[in-house]
Every structure is written in structure tokens, then in C-alpha cells.
Amino acid sequence: MSLVIVEVNGAMGTITLNRAKVNALNGELIDEIASALATMKARNLRVIVLRAKRGAKVFSAGHEVTELPTNGRDPITYNDPLRQIVRAIQLHPCPVIAMVEGSVWGGACELVMSCDLIVAAQDTTLAITPAKLGVPYNLSGILNLMKVVNMPIIKEMLFTARPVSAQRLMECGVINHVVPREELESFTQQLAMQIVETSPLVLRILKEELRVLASAHPITPEAYERIQSLRREVYDSEDYQEGIRAFLEKRKPEFHGR
């Protein structure tokens, strides 16, 4: 069975995550999302909705944990599937709307926040979890989160790894709209149709201008190398191994800071 369901309705495309049991983002699922985006780009669609199946309890459980390396390699490199799909969404020429119901975890928060607009059902929650798993999140990922979430909230989310309600995130300007579950599809469709009526050429350039300007955070090679070496200390640590092991053994990790 396909890991995504792809539908086209006029100028609007919909990509529905369809991986049992919790839409964990493995390489295969991400390849299918990327391929759906490429097809929609070739067809010049004007707006795309990324969603989970109707009534989902979990929108996505984040990065497939069994695909995080434990052999001393950087767990989130430039070519990690999560990084690839985030870039594909950011570079996609038309707006992508995340239509979110259910809980969103870890890397799936970055996926959602890389979309251009977010519409969430009332009971949606988002948890950014690297500190729960012991994963040294990478620089471009952190920057992507910073573009969307203000510093006090991103710090709270990163440092506690706890779910935050969509309502609170809407109040902080992270989520565009929170609506009752039963109105989620009609509301999102209406929003999508308003986008379809605007100039695709202007939207394409506006999206690119915003992407380029929001990413304009130059750092020195030395600063970059320093952060990379700090990250390396984490993925070489006992705590990193413990975080992944604890997840697989379905227990709380015991971190010792080494």
C-alpha cells in the first residue's frame, strides 16, 4: 500500500500521510511525499495541502527512530530524509498548507512548520523532542524552527520536549488557524481556494523572497565548526545511545550527561 495518498482537485493538490501506525517519517515515506510534490510541481498546481488521514490521533510521530544511526555517525545530516523533505517544501513554488489533526512529534514539527501556513484542529498538540531522545538537532533544523517560533516558546518546547497545544501556538503566531475538527477540511479548503485565486507568479516570488530573507543568518566557518563539534560530542555520547535504546525498549531514558 502507498505511504501517501495523492489527490488533485482542480489547482489544489492534497498529500495524505498514510503510513501505519503513526506516520513515522522513514526514508520511504519521505521519498513518496517528495515524489508527490514533484508531480504537483510539474502539473503547475497552485496550492498543496499536507495532511494525515481524517480523524488521525497522531499526525506524525516524527523521524523514524530506527533510522537514526547509532554507529557514531551524525544522526541528522544534510541528506537525511527529513532534511530533504523540509527543503523540498521550502523550495516548492506554490504555498503548502499543513492541515494538522492529532499530535505532532519531533521532526514532524519541523515538517509542519516548514509549510507556508498551518491550520490545526482544536485538540492538536506539537512536541519538539530532541532533548527527550538525546538527539543533537542540526543547525538548519534549529534555524527553521526559529523562523517560525519566538525565542521563549522555542526554548520552552526544546528544553521540556513536552506537547504544547495548537491553541497556545496560535496565540504565539506559530499556527495560523485553530478550528474544530469537524470544520478542519472545509476551512482549509476555503483558505486554499483563496490562494488559488491569486497570482501564481507573484506567490512564487513572494515565497522565495521570504525564504531567502528569513534564512539570512550568516555565521563564520569557525562558529559552524564549533557547533558541529559540540553536536559530535552528543552523538558520540553514552546518553545518545541511551536515548535511542530507551525509546526502543519503551522506557524513560536515564541521562547522565556523558
Binding site for ligand YZS (CB under 6 A): 21-22, 24, 58, 61-66, 103, 105-107, 129-130, 132-133, 135, 137
Query: Does residue 92 carry a catalytic annotation?
Result: no
CB-neighbour burial class of residue 100 (10 A; exposed 0-12, middle 13-18, buried 19+): buried
Query: Does residue 63 carry a catalytic annotation?
Result: yes
Using DSSP, state whether 204 is helix, strand or coil: helix
Residues 6+ apart with CB under 8 A from 148: 113, 174
Q: Which of 102, 106, 134, 137 is catalytic?
A: 137
Q: Which of 13, 107, 134, 141 is catalytic?
A: 107
C-alpha grid cell, residue 13: 493538490
What's the min distance (Å) between Cβ of 75 and ligand YZS?
A: 7
**Nearest to residue 200, comparing CAs of 12, 37, 64, 1?**
12
Amino acid at 176: N
| Residue number, 43 or 232, with CB nearest to ligand YZS | 232
d(Cα 161, Cα 155) in Å, to the nearest integer? Answer: 10
d(Cα 50, Cα 7) in Å, to the nearest integer? Answer: 11
Block residue for cell numbers 497552485 = 46
Query: Does residue 137 carry a catalytic annotation?
Result: yes
CB-neighbour burial class of residue 146 (10 A; exposed 0-12, middle 13-18, buried 19+): middle
What's the min distance (Å) between Cβ of 82 and ligand YZS?
A: 7
**Nearest to residue 4, comparing CAs of 23, 45, 56?**
23
Q: What is the DSSP letter of 179?
A: E
Which positions are annotated as active-site residues? 63, 107, 137
